[in-house]
Amino acid sequence: MASLPPIERYTPLPDVTLYRLPMQVFPSGFVGYAYVLLGLDVPTLIDTGSGFGRSTQDLLDGMRALNDEYGEPFQPTDIKRILITHGHVDHMGGLADMLRVTGGAPVGIHPLDRRVLTNYEERVVVATKNLHIYLERAGLSPERLAQMIDMYGFSKQHVRSVSVDFMLEEGQPLMGLHFYHVPGHCSGQVAIRIGDTLLSADHILARTSPHLAAESITHHTGVSHYRESLKKIACLPGITLTLGGHEEPIEDVYERIKHLQQRLDLKAERILDIIRSAGRPLTISDISKQLYQDKRGFDVLLALQEAGAHVEYLYDRGYLAIANLDEVQAKPNPALLYSIL
Ligand SMILES: [Zn+2]
Ligand SMILES: [Zn+2]
């Protein structure tokens, strides 16, 4: 069994202890973190893992270690509040398990991700439909498209709807926790500030650029929102430690944001180069193949969504034009061919 990173302990405020608990959230070995906050009015859990494979067991083992190894008078059943940073399965898929363990602790999430929790089954159907339309327009063959849709559905099968009890709203702090709405990676993504510590969830990670999908699939995602959300955090002074939903802690979040912004600029330039050097209009599928070479399985789908997010950003700003307008007028949903404007 792959070993997990250690539990880490932080003191974001004089009487508040924050524990970072590792979980294997996907069987591929992908690691995610939940956080337990002790010293607020009630013990608070931030994120719940995926509920997939060993994820919930890892989370419970981590919570029990707070008593056994760190001497905290705490058991998993003591959790009295659950905050979900965003509606992605590796952060909220374990929620039903945690509600069972805690006897129904109140759950909070940003309003734009509330429906992911309360109407999950509906959300999957609608998102799958939007993805289908998107992939057709991206230029996939019917066979490839069917493979992608199958893969998309697989990771979502075990999750069920749950109720939500309160909203995480920017400008409405809760027991010293400040919420910042940072859409882009996910519509209702929040970052949480406690003292000088920022829980950045998947908005800012130490090594990877967070996955972005086109806003035509889901509102409030995509490159435009993500860039605005990076600026929002860059304007918060005095953050000395940033802890993500994955990967290592970030010491200098301001430098990390600059780097992420440069990566976005480079990606945009690279797409323009790809179209220019092709000498003919290209689909999102064509662009994705060149932008993200050697991708397999689920990563192909992520690459298609990501390429589309950047193409959408360039198109919205007038860098690209659609080269097959006649076809767009005549057919229900043809592949779009992009050329440089
Ligand atoms: Zn995410
Ligand atoms: Zn994540």
Kind and range of the H or E run holding 320:
strand 320-322
Q: Where are the domains of the chain?
A: 8-114+161-261, 266-340
Written out in words, the top-level CATH class of the domain with range 266-340 is mainly alpha
Distance (Å, whole) CA 45 – CA 174:
14
CA of 326 to the centre of ligand 2 (A): 41
Within a 13 Å sphere around the CA of 177, how many CA atoms are in the beta-carbon half? 27
Ligand index nearest the alpha carbon of residue 33? 2
Distance (Å, whole) CA 340 – CA 323:
9
Strands 166-167 and 107-109 turn out to be parallel
Closest CA to 84 of 209, 196, 221, 189: 189
Ligand index nearest the alpha carbon of residue 87? 1
CA of 51 to the centre of ligand 1 (A): 15
pLDDT at 158: 81
pLDDT at 251: 98
CATH number of 8-114+161-261: 3.60.15.10
Ligand index nearest the alpha carbon of residue 34? 2
CA separation (Å) from 93 to 203, 269, 340?
Answer: 18, 36, 41
Burial of residue 8 (number of CB atoms within 10 Å: 0-12, 13-18, 19+): middle
CA of 134 to the centre of ligand 1 (A): 20
Written as six digits, the tokens of 255 are 């430098």
pLDDT at 65: 98
Using alpha carbons only, how large is the chain's radius of gyration in Å?
21
Each of the 341 residues of the chain gets a pLDDT tens digit; together they read: 568 999 999 999 999 999 999 999 999 899 999 999 999 999 999 999 999 999 999 999 999 999 999 999 999 999 999 999 999 999 999 999 999 999 999 999 999 999 999 999 999 999 999 999 999 999 999 999 999 999 888 767 788 899 999 999 999 999 999 999 999 999 999 999 999 999 999 999 999 999 999 999 999 999 999 999 999 999 999 999 999 999 999 999 999 999 999 999 999 999 999 999 999 999 999 999 999 999 998 899 999 999 999 999 999 999 999 999 999 999 999 999 999 99
Task: Scan for tokens 């109407």, then name that residue.
Answer: 119
Ligand index nearest the alpha carbon of residue 245? 2
From the CB of residue 232, how many other CB atoms can be counted at a distance below 10 Å? Answer: 17
Ligand index nearest the alpha carbon of residue 31? 2
CA of 52 to the centre of ligand 1 (A): 15
CA of 90 to the centre of ligand 2 (A): 5
CA of 91 to the centre of ligand 2 (A): 6
CA of 140 to the centre of ligand 1 (A): 25
CA of 331 to the centre of ligand 2 (A): 38
Ligand index nearest the alpha carbon of residue 244? 2
Cα-to-chain-centroid distance, residue 39: 28
CA separation (Å) from 334 to 64, 126, 329?
Answer: 54, 20, 9
- The answer to whether 243 touches 199, Cβ cutoff 8 Å, is yes
Closest CA to 182 of 224, 124, 152, 119: 224
- The answer to whether 198 touches 242, Cβ cutoff 8 Å, is yes
Residues 6+ positions from 250 with CB-CB distance below 8 Å = 200, 204, 205, 206, 241, 242, 243, 244, 256
Give the model confidence (pLDDT) of 264-319 as tens digits. 999 999 999 999 999 999 999 999 999 999 999 889 999 999 999 999 999 999 99
Mark 187-225 as b/e (b = at least 16 C-beta within 10 Å): bbbbbbbbbebbbbbbbbbbeeebbbbbbbbbebbbbbb
Closest CA to 301 of 181, 144, 94: 144
Which DSSP string corresponds to 237-289?
TT--EEEESSS--BS-HHHHHHHHHHHHHHHHHHHHHHHHHHTS-B-HHHHHH
CA of 74 to the centre of ligand 1 (A): 28
CA of 144 to the centre of ligand 2 (A): 26
CA of 80 to the centre of ligand 2 (A): 23
CA of 86 to the centre of ligand 1 (A): 7
DSSP state of 159: -
Ligand index nearest the alpha carbon of residue 55? 2
